[in-house]
Amino acid sequence: AQSVTQLDSQVPVFEEAPVELRCNYSSSVSVYLFWYVQYPNQGLQLLLKYLSGSTLVKGINGFEAEFNKSQTSFHLRKPSVHISDTAEYFCAVSAPEKSSGDKLTFGTGTRLAVRP
């Protein structure tokens, strides 16, 4: 079984400042890693994913994340945030198996609040 820990429930930051949202996972098998963003009263939108290959993954809206296998982390970063980045961010893992497909295990989320 897999688990995901998002240590920060809320992250306040000023506009144009850099931000890092932390994500750690645990798993006994290789995993795929994802970051999703949820705007109020909407569904989840995929920001980026790590399946294999380069450990630095670039996603939409200027976000990137780095997979660190030794630290079992997949932190999300953006060098300069905008007001429009205010949302809930979820880290998720999957360990695809024929029997369970793409079942995702989510963290509890981090609320990013960007202030002017």
Partner 1 sequence: NAGVMQNPRHLVRRRGQEARLRCSPMKGHSHVYWYRQLPEEGLKFMVYLQKENIIDESGMPKERFSAEFPKEGPSILRIQQVVRGDSAAYFCASSPIPGHGYTFGSGTRLTVV
- Residues 106, 50: contact at Cβ < 8 Å? no
User: Is residue 85 within the footprint of partner 1 (CB under 8 A)?
Assistant: no
- Count the Cβ atoms, other than its own, within 10 Å of residue 112: 21
Choose between 13 and 44: whose C-beta lies nearer to partner 1: 44
Neighbours of 39 (CB within 10 A): 13
For partner 1, the binding residue among 40, 53, 99, 116 (CB under 8 A) is 99
Distance CA 106, CA 61 (A): 21
User: Rounded CA gap, 36 and 60, in Å?
Assistant: 11
Q: How far is the CB of 16 from partner 1 (least distance, A)?
A: 29
Contact flag: residue 75 with partner 1 (CB under 8 A): no
Least separation in angstroms between residue 60's CB and partner 1 is 13
**Is residue 13 part of the contact set for partner 1 (CB under 8 A)?**
no
Only one of the segments 21-29, 40-48, 67-75, 76-84 lies at the binding site for partner 1 (rule: CB under 8 A); that segment is 40-48
The DSSP output letter for 100 is T
CB of 97 to partner 1, least distance (A): 8
Query: To which residue do tokens 């609320």 refer?
Result: 111
Q: How far apart are CA 41 and CA 104, in angstroms?
A: 21
Given the rule CB under 8 A, which residues bind partner 1? 32, 34, 36, 41-46, 49, 51, 90, 96, 98-109
